[in-house]
Amino acid sequence: MDKVYILGGAQTDFERNWKKEGKNLVALLKEVIADGLDNANISYDCIRELNNDNRIAVFVGNFIAEKYVEQGHLGAFLTEVDSAFYGVPSARYEAACASSSVAIDAAQTKIRSGDYDVAIVVGWELMKTVDAKTGGDFLGRAAYYDKESKGIELPFPKLFAKLADETIEKYQLDEKRYLNALAAISANNYSNAKRNPLAQTRKWFMSYEQASNRGTNTNMIVGGRLAVSDCSQITDGAAVVVLASEGFVKEQKIKNKPVIKGFGHRVAPLQFSKKIGESSNSEYILPWTRQAVLDAYKRSGLSVEDIDVFEAHDCFTSSEYVAISCFGLTEPGKEYEAVESGLIAFDGKRPINPGGGLIGCGHPVGATGTRMLLDCYKQLTGEAGSYQVKGANNALMLNIGGTATTNYVFIIGNE
Amino acid sequence: MNIQTVTVIGATGTMGANVAGIFASFGNAKVFCVGRDIEKVRNTIPRIIASVRADSIADNLVPADYTMLDKCVRESDLIFESTSENIQVKKEIARLVSQSINEHAITCTGTSGLSIHEISRCYPEEVRKRFFGVHMFNPPYSLSLCELISTEATSETVKNELREYLEKKLLRTVVEVKDSPAFLGNRIGFMFINEAMQYAEKYKDSGGIDYIDAILGSFSGRSMPPLLTADFVGLDVHKAIVDNIHNNTDDYANDSFTLPEFVQTLIDNGALGRKKGEGLYKTFYYENGLKRKTVLDLNSEVYRDKIKYVFPFSERMKRHISEGDYMLAFEALINNHSQEAEICLSFLLKFIIYAVYAADKIGDGIDAADDVMAAGFNWCPPLALYEALSQVADVRDLIRERTELYSVVDVDRLLEKMVPSKYDFRKFFKTGRQ
């Protein structure tokens, strides 16, 4: 496989509410693109030059701007950011919460094929334009809307509460032990976010006691066994990463940048009930998520032992829980061991979500894949500041869309 | 520093309750919440829980009254006094605390108006070594600023330990400041707010209060315009702060702290702002659910409907900000010479210079000016603002041409002290609220 390098990128401050600031998607894109290009050391003049030879393209990840901000044709919006993008190939990619992973995949493919030398991947979502109930209904379109979401208040918390129920059932878990592990996952992500200056919840209070105290006024049940503390956030935000070919890196004499070592992309049955039905013969509750991880290990020639830091898709604590065995950190059904032993804590041997993940850092759905890749990049280049995991050489990210329907895995590492 | 148990004296007050919430949550400390009336304290507990959105802290909150103070203080590692701003009251508290305080415990006062040295002297020498001013901003859950004030009697080691505790455990943005009237954040912020009040009077024929607020709206780098902020803070509190600075400091901006007469009149009439239902602004609520927002007209002295001002300069700024074109927005401000744009720009320039001047004098570094304004007021911090304006103009020239500052203060000397800002100015410039 030809090498694909990551040159850098940026994310917006996920604490920001762009509607309250009175700013639109163009403002969001202008800020994140400017910061991302600056970090990757790519100027607008450089873009113009590359574009003269048709060597650069843009890949946009976004789930559902048509609903949140009444806007489609999102690939074309780069031309509103700067005239340097006039003529630059650009299109939008969508796979619910894994939207920007599809964009990353398209970008790396176009670089490997030799079509382009530089790819700018930008993921974004503005979600605070509507109230929580309306937003929850929009997000219901990541499932089979007519059958799983329509007319149901906050369908996704309920679907991931079902995953919690099925996990307990499948592995005959002690309910209390399982729920305490979920509370610890929540507290861990919030605690990690405190070190991340761009995390949405960096100033919020959360503790294991608060997270395990479900059903109170300040931690209401949102579906089944899950409460507010088990949920990721409603977030406005964008993230950019710049990818480049080996030729470009050599030509520009760029050194010490990580490469994409492998990927996995598997799509499970769309409906949650079909997913669970199909998995009854597997030891994994989400076998296609596990398979995507295995595919990425195989393509990279690496195993779980080689991975120093993980980005899990903790849209709910129940999904991070399942991810633990999909990564291979424990046997399926024994995920609580990795939580209880501190294996996945910030100072553990295999930290998950050192920057806070979707629960702590925030979850602007279309931006999450690029945010994960960016955080992996920061860890591998030592740019993660106070949430730096020491000596990280390989990182793995798992970005899922819907109820773990689209499963995307990337392994990134230093050469 | 290991703080397991805290006593908050004056826990039914707004700040006392909020500070108790911070210790009980982030600090995970057992907090004795002491007030005069234990029933009132009990009724305050839900408010404390709500202030940090966590029922799990309930077990950490122990209601108490003054008859139990001796026991509370004896068991505490830290005593936080948040009583009324009256030195006689503080003296009495000091006497009671000193009787039972254990030797390793820290004593703090949350005063925003009195001298830390003066309060310190109410305590015996042994206690003074571990005595501090710890000035938080309201509400501390969203405003993380914490001004830390020590005295000559304070132990340096203890101060460093306390600072680390406040930063790491309580997640505060700690700024060490000198024991100067109103400390640093309020000194800078209320210069701006009080001068805005003076301008409301000066430009009362142009509209007065809402006119000035429209000129200094969120597009100028703050979440809430200055006079509306004063109404939220309370005009009595505002007066206490500016009078304190006006009477006890003497710098080039001293006249900016003179309270305008119309504000005194409002205070005399009990129109203290939002908490009393009327002040600079007044909202009328009707039975059908409708409400009418009005503002005090300074000519007729009656509340009239707010005016929707449209200024060409601010409309352009807002349009540019809404699309993320900040530099174009600043150019629109600088290149417009209307009365409104001149007022807006001169306020921003005066803010930058006074912030640097005050931080140099009172803070532990020039960048303290940024921390206090961002973490205490949610305003675009002065150093970040300076950097932003510098991208489109020579700020020295602007100050020379658009303000009188050069005749009253050594602007060049202050600008030489400028250091890079660690804040991103962009998120502070908004188009929403006027």
pLDDT in tens, A103-131: 999 999 999 999 999 999 999 999 999 99
- B321/A213 CB distance under 8 A: no
Give the residue from chain A lying closest to B59, CA to CA.
A209
B191 and B154, same domain (yes or no): no
- H/E element holding B389? helix B382-390
Same domain, B287 and B386: yes
Residues B194 and B171 in one domain: no
Give the whole-angstrom CA distance, residue A40 versus residue A139. Answer: 32
Residues facing residue A125 across a β-bridge: A237
DSSP reduced 3-state for B31: strand
Domain stops at, among B130, B158, B176? B176
Residue B434 domain-assigned?
no
What ipTM is given for this predicted complex? 0.94
The pair phi, psi for residue A257, each rounded to 5°, is -110, 145
Task: Please give the residue range of the domain that contains residue A107.
Answer: 4-129+235-251
Q: Supply the pLDDT for residue B433.
A: 47
Cβ contacts of A194 on chain B, cutoff 8 Å: 171
Residue B412 touches partner A, C-beta closer than 8 Å: no
B370 lies in a domain? yes
> Is B364 a member of any domain?
yes
Q: How many domains does chain A have?
A: 1
Residue B172 sits in the same domain as residue B190? no
Note whether residue B433 is domain-resident: no
Q: Which domain holds residue B93?
A: 5-176
Q: Which residues of B touch A28 (CB under 8 A)?
A: 324
- Closest A-chain CA to B140: A203
Does A21 reach chain B within 8 Å, measured CB to CB? Answer: yes
Test B324 with A209 for CB contact under 8 angstroms: no
Residue B237 burial by Cβ neighbours in a 10 Å radius (0-12, 13-18, 19+): buried
Residue B289 shares a structural domain with residue B343:
yes
Count of helix runs (H) and strand runs (E) in chain A = 16, 11
- The CATH number given to whatever domain includes residue B237 is 1.10.1040.50
pLDDT exceeds cutoff 60 at B434? no
Of A31, A206, A210, the CB nearest to B426: A31
DSSP for residue A316: B
> pLDDT value at position A1?
55
Q: How far apart are CA B170 and CA B157, in angstroms?
A: 19
Domain count across chain B? 2
Residues B61 and B140 in one domain: yes
pLDDT digits (tens, 9 = 90+) for B213-237: 999 999 999 989 999 999 999 999 9
CB spacing of B324 vs A219 below 8 angstroms: no
Q: Confirm or reject contact between B325 and chain A (CB < 8 A).
A: yes
C-alpha of B222 from chain center: 13
Size of interface A-B (CB pairs under 8 A): 75
Which of B236, B228, B315 has the alpha carbon at shortest distance from B268? B236
Phi, psi of B36 (to 5 degrees): -65, -40
Predicted pLDDT of residue B113: 87
Number of other residues whose CB lies within 10 A of the CB of residue A282: 14
Confidence of residue A329 (pLDDT cuts 50, 70, 90): very high
Of the residues B142, B158, B176, which one is the last residue of a structural domain?
B176
Domain boundary among B128, B159, B176: B176
Asked if A20 and B430 come within 8 Å (Cβ–Cβ), the reply is: yes
Is A311 among the domain residues? no
Average pLDDT over residues B24-51: 97
Tell me, yes or no, whether B265 and B342 share the same domain.
Answer: yes
Structure tokens, B71: 């026991």
Segment B102-136, tens digit of pLDDT? 999 999 999 998 999 999 999 999 999 999 999 99
Do the Cβ atoms of A357 and A376 come closer than 8 Å?
no
User: Over pLDDT 90: what percentage of chain A?
Assistant: 100
Stretch A357-374: mean pLDDT: 98
Distance CA A67, CA A80 (A): 20
**Both B144 and B219 in a single domain?**
no
Q: Are residues B12 and B151 in the same domain?
A: yes
B148 and B206 both lie in a single domain: no
CATH code: domain of residue A98:
3.40.47.10
Tell me, what's the pLDDT at A365?
98
pLDDT tens digits for range A333-354 = 999 999 999 999 999 999 999 9
Please tell me whether residues B211 and B300 are part of one structural domain. yes
